[in-house]
């Protein structure tokens, strides 16, 4: 564990990367400090053993598919900060099983909450190596220095991605050149099998997407009447879409 954070008496939003189901317990253990958690109540997780543990800690359960539930949870989030409490949140909103993105794009709710309550934001990166958690707690993130929220959330993501990369460099036992697509898919499947309530197809519906953004794979899949799915969600379907992309991007030879 690496901890660069020094308390300054202000309420704090701890923003962490989401790599496995035990992230919250591991971060709280490293902080040695209680913080309310914003968590998705996917498939009744609140009634599982893991859910009971989070309930005892203090939690705001949110239905990510319900706009009202999301808005209400954000107001509760702000209320805790207004009263001097601390909050733990995964701004990616989903478990990141992307083979290429160190962290997914961030939702902006934590920035709204911090700005409206004059709270700290503290970045936290997590890596999981052979079932052992590696946690890096960063310095206070000064969001006030940025001219708009877009710049601030992008800068926060860069900071956390850098911290996550440093953990990978320090702790990883594998070389990327030796990790094949198949080995990555096998890893994802083995991790998902350990969490029966996790459904990656559903999870990926809650990734942050700027309005109007569309991936080439999605466009080509729709043109061919098939469903676009990620590598972690359905490898066979992913390969089918990748072949469409490869054919689409092949150079055209004029005779």
Residue 17 burial (10 A CB sphere; 0-12, 13-18, 19+): buried
Verify that 136 and 47 share a domain, yes or no: yes
d(Cα 207, Cα 203) in Å, to the nearest integer? 7
d(Cα 70, Cα 160) in Å, to the nearest integer? 24
Q: Which residue has the higher pLDDT, 117 or 226?
A: 117
Any domain includes 31: yes
Tens digit of each residue's pLDDT (9 = 90 or more) over 3-45: 666 777 899 999 999 887 778 888 888 888 888 888 776 555 6
Dihedral angle, C-alpha 115, 12, 145, 3, nearest 10 °: -160
Verify that 90 and 201 share a domain, yes or no: no
Verify that 103 and 210 share a domain, yes or no: no
Per-residue confidence (pLDDT) for residue 122, from 0 to 100: 95
Verify that 225 and 165 share a domain, yes or no: no
Verify that 146 and 230 share a domain, yes or no: no
Total domains in the chain come to 2
Instruction: Count, in order, helices (H) and strands (E) of the chain.
Output: 9, 7
Judge whether residue 242 has pLDDT over 70: yes
Q: What are phi and psi of 137, to 5 degrees?
A: -105, 120
Last residue of a domain, one of 171, 193, 208: 171
Last residue of a domain, one of 171, 200, 231: 171
User: DSSP characters for 166-228?
Assistant: HHHHHH--S-GGG--HHHHHHHHHHHHHT-TT--HHHHGGGS---TT---HHHHHHHHTT---
Per-residue confidence (pLDDT) for residue 250, from 0 to 100: 60
Last residue of a domain, one of 171, 198, 228: 171
Give the pLDDT mean for 170-179: 71
Tens digit of each residue's pLDDT (9 = 90 or more) over 193-221: 777 666 666 677 777 877 777 777 788 88
Q: Chain-wide mean pLDDT for the chain?
A: 81
Judge whether residue 229 has pLDDT over 70: yes
**Of the ranges 27-41, 101-115, 239-253, the best mean pLDDT one:** 101-115
Indicate which CATH number applies to the domain containing 15. 3.40.1130.10
Residue among 164, 62, 174, 140 at smallest CA distance from 107: 62
Give the pLDDT mean for 113-123: 94
Per-residue confidence (pLDDT) for residue 151, from 0 to 100: 95
Verify that 124 and 199 share a domain, yes or no: no
Per-residue confidence (pLDDT) for residue 26, from 0 to 100: 85
Element holding 154 (H helix, E strand): helix 149-171
Verify that 54 and 116 share a domain, yes or no: yes
Q: What are phi and psi of 192, to 5 degrees?
A: -65, -35
Per-residue confidence (pLDDT) for residue 17, from 0 to 100: 93
Verify that 127 and 186 share a domain, yes or no: no
Task: Write out the residue range of the structural domain in which residue 139 sits.
Answer: 2-171
The answer to whether residues 90 and 18 touch, using CB atoms and an 8 Å cutoff, is: yes
pTM: 0.80
Q: Which residue has the higher pLDDT, 255 or 63?
A: 63
Give the pLDDT mean for 105-123: 92
Per-residue confidence (pLDDT) for residue 143, from 0 to 100: 94
Verify that 52 and 39 share a domain, yes or no: yes
The percentage of residues in the chain with a pLDDT greater than 70, rounded to a whole number, is 83
Verify that 78 and 153 share a domain, yes or no: yes
């Amino acid at each position: 564990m690496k901890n660069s954070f020094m308390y300054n008496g202000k309420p704090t939003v701890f923003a962490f990367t989401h790599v496995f189901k035990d992230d919250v317990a591991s971060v709280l253990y490293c902080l040695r400090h209680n913080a309310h958690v914003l968590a998705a109540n996917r498939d009744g997780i609140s009634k599982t053993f893991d859910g009971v543990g989070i309930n005892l800690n203090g939690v705001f359960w949110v239905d990510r598919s319900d706009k009202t539930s999301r808005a209400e949870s954000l107001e509760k989030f702000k209320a805790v900060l207004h009263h001097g409490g601390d909050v733990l949140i995964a701004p990616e909103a989903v478990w990141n099983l992307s083979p290429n993105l160190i962290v997914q794009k961030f939702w902006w709710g934590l920035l709204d909450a911090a700005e409206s309550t004059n709270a700290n934001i503290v970045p936290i990166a997590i890596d999981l190596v052979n079932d052992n958690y590696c946690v890096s707690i960063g310095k206070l993130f000064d969001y006030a220095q940025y001219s708009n929220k877009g710049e601030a959330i992008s800068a926060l993501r860069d900071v956390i991605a850098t911290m996550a990369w440093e953990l990978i460099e320090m702790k990883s036992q594998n070389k990327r050149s030796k990790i094949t697509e198949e080995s990555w898919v096998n890893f994802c499947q083995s991790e998902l099998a350990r969490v029966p309530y996790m459904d990656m197809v559903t999870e990926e519906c809650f990734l942050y997407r700027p309005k109007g953004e569309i991936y080439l794979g999605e466009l080509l899949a729709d043109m061919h009447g098939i469903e676009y799915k990620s590598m972690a969600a359905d490898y066979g379907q992913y390969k089918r879409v990748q072949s469409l992309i490869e054919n689409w991007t092949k150079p055209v030879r004029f005779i």
